[in-house]
Amino acid sequence: MIIGLTGTLGAGKGTVVEILKKKGFQHYSVRKFLIEEIEKRRLEVSRENMVLVANQLRKMNSPSYIVEKLYEKAEQETENIIIESIRTIGEADKIKEKGGILMAVDANPEIRYSRILIRQSETDNVSFEEFLGEEKREMFSINPNEQNLSGCIIKADFILENNKTIEQLEKQVDEIIGKLTRKKQIIGKRKDYISWDEYFMAVAVVSSMRSKDPNSQVGACIVNKKNHIIATGYNGFPIGCNDDSLPWNREGKKLETKYPYVVHAEANAITNATGKLDKCRIYVPLFPCNECAKLIIQSGIKEVIYLSDKYKETDEVIVAKKMFNMSGVKLRQYLPENKTLTLDFCKLL
């Protein structure tokens, strides 16, 4: 379950977060994200700079940029998520688009001001008039990249009123969570889905099955930072070179063997790529040879994930490792979570 939390200044978003954390929700904070961003830019951590930097980021990317970044992070780690706080219409819509619940918390201005005085964090050091002025700036904007708290509150599925005690707030949260749990009966996601590593290594292995080489079949799968596959390949002769006319022998005179003709899986994948290879990673069932290592390095690929290193004593692999290390390409042996993966087409008929 994803809950996006919105609300006015000092309404008690932090308290709602604490209540939900007790119920097992993981907290992802826009504020923390922005403070890190402000510090990166060597600016003073103030509410004004937080609004400024947030609006800039949204303008440069999209109205829901920050929430999307947090969501991406959250998605990999946990199931029940609270994202705090939602401030633009784009962010509110994104939460709903992802199937999440938008929750708002509000309280009377005097109560909220007295709360922020007690809190006195680095961004809350203001008079009542300044407090109202700042709030006004954040309450409404026709620009989708700017803060629009009133618009977010209107879009909320649930509004919590926090004029009284924490216990009363907690009761309201309990009721909402109870209602949602009953309504959805929250069906958890499958637990036995394959991991990214397993998935891409499997694609590399399946690619190898296309190889016509009677002795060794190798595949490769290149993946970008977004976990999108941008290339696959397997060992074979160059395009237009007939598989039946050239030799597949491993031994004999050089010209009678496959070696001068065959293109390795990694080289095929690199030349087939449909996107930029820069900062990508390559999955290979077998550790690459020195020739492929050169291509991998030159293409900008930054990580090699391999299954077998059975030729580690050979000059080709020793040289490959030396070059990978010198050029900063990360090497990682993939240790399979499952020994086998079965593809049973008949089961799908």
* Cβ 33 vs Cβ 67: under 8 Å: no
Q: Give the interface segment with Zn ion, choosing from 14-22, 180-188, 292-300, 322-330 (CB under 5 A).
A: 292-300
Distance CA(284)–CA(264), nearest Å, equals 11
Site string for Zn ion, 113-152 (x = CB under 5 A): ----------------------------------------
219 close to 232: Cβ distance less than 8 angstroms: yes
Which of 54, 66, 74, 292 is the binder for Zn ion (CB under 5 A)? 292
**Pairwise CA distance, residues 95 & 163, whole Å:** 26
In the chain, what is the straight-line distance between the N-terminal and C-terminal CA atoms, in Å? 33
Confirm or reject binding of residue 289 to Zn ion (CB under 5 A): yes
| Rama region for 328: left / alpha / beta (φ>0; ψ in -120 to 50; rest) | left
Between 132 and 241, name the residue whose CB sits nearer to Zn ion.
241
Strands 219-223 and 303-308: unpaired
Q: Nearest distance from residue 230's CB to Zn ion, in Å?
A: 19
- Tell which positions 245-274 bind Zn ion, by CB under 5 A: 264
Paired with 177 in beta bridges are: none
Q: Which is nearer to Zn ion, 67 or 292 (CB)?
A: 292
266's enclosing H/E stretch is: helix 265-272
Output the smallest distance, CB 35 to Zn ion, in A: 47
Stretch that binds Zn ion, among 17-25, 241-249, 281-289, 341-349 (CB under 5 A): 281-289
CB of 176 to Zn ion, least distance (A): 58
Cβ closest to Zn ion, residue 54 vs residue 301: 301
# residues contacting Zn ion (CB under 5 A): 3
Q: Residue 25 gets which letter from DSSP?
A: P
DSSP state of 227: S
Which residues are identified as catalytic?
266
* Cα-Cα-Cα-Cα dihedral sign, residues 318, 223, 72, 150: positive
CB of 306 to Zn ion, least distance (A): 12
State the nearest-atom distance from the C-beta of 337 to Zn ion, in Å: 27
Does 296 engage in binding with Zn ion (CB under 5 A)?
no
- Site of interaction with Zn ion (CB under 5 A): 264, 289, 292
